[in-house]
Structure 1
Amino acid sequence: MRLSTKSRFAVTAMIDVALREDRGPVSLAAISERHHISLSYLEQLFSKLRQQGLVESTRGPGGGYSLARNAEKISMADIVGAVDAPSEEETRTEADSWMGSELWSSLNDKMLSHLQSITLRQLVAEQRARGVAIEPAEPTRSNVRRGVFARPKTAALKVTAPNSVFALANSLLPSRS
């Protein structure tokens, strides 16, 4: 297992989704804007996270991603493993290497064990303890109550112009008084 920029971005994005889990699906565009991560890069990461059953996607207006299971049951190792799974070639090279033996295997096991002990819920709690502010939910079509707000009153327009060709003709004729 290795920690890369890809895994760091994935953990950051998952914390973002977990922080806002009570508001419904979180759009990748919003995550991209908040954390300055390329939208196309996030799409690649979330595709892998979805394949591993860590997030669910919702399509359409107000759609986005939400956690597929409780944040307490998602470990940092799950997230990192989903986006940074070693390729078959890397695994073969490590196994064939004389240096990839017991020392690296032992270090990898310890790192994996440590990452498995850190849950997404703990990471979210740390962010909240640091005072990370969550912006108020923006109104969407699904959470805006229609018909509750009074429409602004507009003054009725008094039209003095003729409303037909006949009325126009009558207005042009000299008055017979």
Structure 2
Amino acid sequence: MKISTKGRYGLTIMIELAKNHGQGPTSLKSIAQTHNLSEHYLEQLIAPLRNARLVKSIRGAYGGYILGDEPANITSGDIIRVLEGPISPVEVLEDEEPAKRQLWIRIRDAVKDVLDNTTLEDLASYTDGEQESYMFYI
């Protein structure tokens, strides 16, 4: 399973909302500017997140978006499923060799386990201050 930009940018939106949770609405424009992303693309991603009630929109001059629930209650799996569809690296076929079928099932279950046990609260705390602490050398 490859996570597309829909899933990656959707997680970015949701992590930013989690980091600002309780501080009022956050605009997509500010998220787009912070992460150097297309605001128009983020607008396309927010609609399914809103329809799934993972976010709420706040209208007005100081409007934007807030989380639909507490960050601890929203998992990365919830977000990925809304934006990417079911979590499965391959379609498991009944007539496939049993050893391979078991491998695909184990991979699917491992990915689901990670996504379903990683909350927005976890992701927001991972990114607080850690982005600047990494130094990469090539």
| Residue 67 (structure 2) pairs with residue 67 (structure 1) | yes
Could you tell me which residue of structure 1 aligns to residue 28 of structure 2?
A: 28
Could you tell me which residue of structure 1 aligns to residue 51 of structure 2?
A: 51
CA RMSD of superposed structures (Å) = 2.6
Deviation track 1:119-170 (CA, whole Å, cap 9, x = no partner) reads 11011111225277xxxxxxxxxxxxxxxxxxxxxxxxxxxxxxxxxxxxxx
Could you tell me which residue of structure 1 aligns to residue 18 of structure 2?
A: 18
- Specify which structure has the higher proportion of helix: 2
Q: Distance in 1 between matches of 2:129 and 2:73?
A: 20
Question: Does structure 1 conserve the Cα–Cα contact (< 8 Å) formed by 2:48 and 2:82?
Answer: yes
| Aligned length, in residue pairs | 128
Q: Distance in 1 between matches of 2:38 and 2:91?
A: 31
Q: Distance in 2 between matches of 1:34 and 1:48?
A: 22
Letter in 1 for 2:25: P
Shift of 1:57: 0.6
Q: Distance in 1 between matches of 2:32 and 2:11?
A: 13
Shift of 1:31: 0.9
Q: What SS class does the counterpart of residue 56 from structure 1 fall into?
A: strand
After superposition, residues 1-177 of structure 1 pair within 5 angstroms as 2-86=2-86, 94-95=91-92, 98=96, 101-130=101-130
Q: Given the two structures, how large is their TM-score scaled by the length of structure 2?
A: 0.80
Deviation track 1:95-130 (CA, whole Å, cap 9, x = no partner) reads 558488432232111101111111110111112252
Q: Distance in 1 between matches of 2:129 and 2:30?
A: 22
Alignment gaps of 5+ in structure 2: 133-138
Shift of 1:35: 0.8
Question: Does structure 1 conserve the Cα–Cα contact (< 8 Å) formed by 2:29 and 2:39?
Answer: yes
Question: Does structure 2 conserve the Cα–Cα contact (< 8 Å) formed by 1:2 and 1:84?
Answer: no
Q: Distance in 2 between matches of 1:127 and 1:45?
A: 21
Q: Distance in 2 between matches of 1:74 and 1:2?
A: 21
Percent identical: 35
102-111 or 29-38: bigger deviation: 102-111
Question: Does structure 2 conserve the Cα–Cα contact (< 8 Å) formed by 1:58 and 1:65?
Answer: yes
Shift of 1:44: 1.4
Q: Distance in 2 between matches of 1:4 and 1:131?
A: 21
Q: Distance in 2 between matches of 1:131 and 1:42?
A: 21
Q: What SS class does the counterpart of residue 13 from structure 1 fall into?
A: helix
Q: Given the two structures, how large is their TM-score scaled by the length of structure 1?
A: 0.63
